[in-house]
Amino acid sequence: MINLETPRKFRAFVNQAHQVAAEMLRPNSRAYDLAEHAYPKELDMLAAMVDGLGASGTGSGAGAGGVRRTGAEDDGKVKNGSNLSSVLSIMEMCWGDVGLLLSMPRQGLGNSAIASVASDEQLKRFEGVWAGMAITEPGCGSDSASIQTTARLDGDHYVLNGEKIFVTAGDRCDAVVVWATLDKSLGRAAIKSFVVSKDTPGMTVERLEHKLGIRSSDTATIRFENCRVPAANLLGSPEVDADKGFAGVMQTFDNTRPLVASMAVGCARAALELTRDLLAEAGVELDYDRSIHLQPAAAASYLQMEADWEAAYLLTLQAAWMADNSQPNSLQASMAKAKAGRSANDITLRCVELAGTLGYSEHELLEKWARDSKILDIFEGTQQIQQLIVARRLLGKTSAELK
């Protein structure tokens, strides 16, 4: 049974993550928001520290690169592992700044993709690599099965052709995890993921995007033209299994969606805490012993947001805990992502509203958190896609039966 308290073995690490967020990320938050595309050099030292914690075992599962399914058999014992550790630490870091967390070397979603599905040999070979994630295409957004980028086997290499957009850390990273199809006629079953080094001929970063939020994180468009990738860089099995579909690459989402949910939970908590302080300064008191309808409108609105946040937080913990305990969590991962992403949007915008001019101006970080939160409801599968996945799981419908 899941325990809702932070596991004792993670408490010191989570406290360290909060301290880093308070002393390094949040103080630099506004500066790198205004200096879009400027690389936050302060993160190099932070990334080295996270690497050190992971190597020493004191920060097992630190950051996005820590998630992994062990495949261990159920021995009846509850495991609090790398997935839970990762979401707890990411919550704290995104309490500081979402964009800077996404800019940390070796902590991208591409790293969590490698950690999720790579073989032991690949894990060792790609150790220390900073990997971005390349899924979205100009004609393919939420429907990952419609990917048009192709991978053709030629000897001991795959030849990649296509274009990827909205690649997080696409310019700064060392390699990119690229989703491509081995055979378009076979549909989703032929979709595979490949680790492509940035120095590979035929791979070109076309441009960097200007964005509403997470401006400190670079987002790139990348083109592949006859890009030759070693066959050993294909993650998982190269076999096309029509019955299994593309469950292998989709397993990545079961681990990364709780991470995005934790980003949303952390960002929303930052907004709630600041708004609570601003309300207190304005003389608005929160009374947890009285019904909402008997309290001032601002207090009632705040308490509703707090309850919404609590639901997102618990769903996120559940999805990560299930992954640590080798339980299928595709439904829970999508529920956590859907709830946390939408809740973060609603909470940050309502906090801006409650704070009035302070919330809308750059005097406080509330308006920035509202802008940053929007992407958390979009990437790793939009709100609508998550709801569709949840509906299919609950109703027992296939993707063909429920579109």
Q: Which residues are catalytic?
A: 380
Whole-number Å distance between alpha carbons of 304 and 186? 47
Per-residue CA distances from 231 to 151, 234, 266, 390 (Å): 10, 6, 39, 35
Crossing angle of helices 247-281 and 366-375, rounded to 10°: 160
The string of DSSP letters for 123-163 reads HHHTTT--EEEE--BTTBSS-GGG---EEEEETTEEEEEEE
Per-residue CA distances from 295 to 12, 57, 286, 290 (Å): 38, 48, 8, 7
Q: Which residues contact 327 (CB under 8 A, 6 or more apart)?
A: none
Q: Taking the mean position of all CA atoms in its chain, how far away is CA 229?
A: 26
Given a contact cutoff of 8 angstroms between Cβ atoms, the answer to whether 165 and 138 are in contact is: yes
131-134 and 175-181: which strand pairing?
parallel
Per-residue CA distances from 383 to 370, 374, 388 (Å): 17, 11, 9
Q: Which residues contact 15 (CB under 8 A, 6 or more apart)?
A: none
Sign of the Cα torsion 69, 75, 81, 87 reads: positive
Question: Which structure tokens are listed for 135?
Answer: 């899924």
Sign of the Cα torsion 293, 294, 297, 299 reads: negative
| DSSP 8-state code for residue 100 | H
Question: Which structure tokens are listed for 205?
Answer: 């970063």
